[in-house]
Amino acid sequence: MNDFDAAKFAKKLKKQIKKQTKGRDIQVKTGSGFYFLGFIGSAVYYISTAADFWAGVVGILKAIIWPAFWAYAALKGLNA
């Protein structure tokens, strides 16, 4: 029976990836457009529900980190 050699496998995998991507430009697409739309939507929501000026400022700060709230709620829902 063959023993699995992780280092040898990783080296072989890197070699294959390098061979397949030779001469190609690899572009990484990010979700920045999705994040921006989410920021705008959450900022509008938090500002529209703000009772005073400082609640609006906190709303803007919440809008910046809205993915953290979303991920927390999703993981909390999985645990329940």
Condensed to tens digits (0 to 9), the pLDDT of residues 33-79 reads 778 888 898 899 999 999 999 999 999 998 998 888 888 888 888 88
Is 62 part of any domain? Answer: yes
Q: Is residue 10 part of a domain?
A: no
**CA–CA dist 70, 75 (Å, integer):** 9
Distance CA 59, CA 80 (A): 27
Residue 22 lies in a domain: no
Kindly state whether residue 68 falls inside one of the protein's structural domains: yes
In a domain, 15, yes or no: no
Answer yes or no: is 1 within a domain: no
Residue 54 maps to a domain:
yes
Q: Please report where in the chains the tokens 């000026």 appear, as a residue.
A: 53
**How many structural domains is the chain composed of?**
1
Query: Rounded distance, CA 12 to CA 19, Å?
Result: 11
Provide the pLDDT confidence category of residue 7 given band limits of 50, 70 and 90: confident
Burial class (CB in 10 A: 0-12, 13-18, 19+), 75: exposed
Mean per-residue pLDDT, 3-29? 77
pTM over 0.75: no
Range of the domain at 80: 30-80
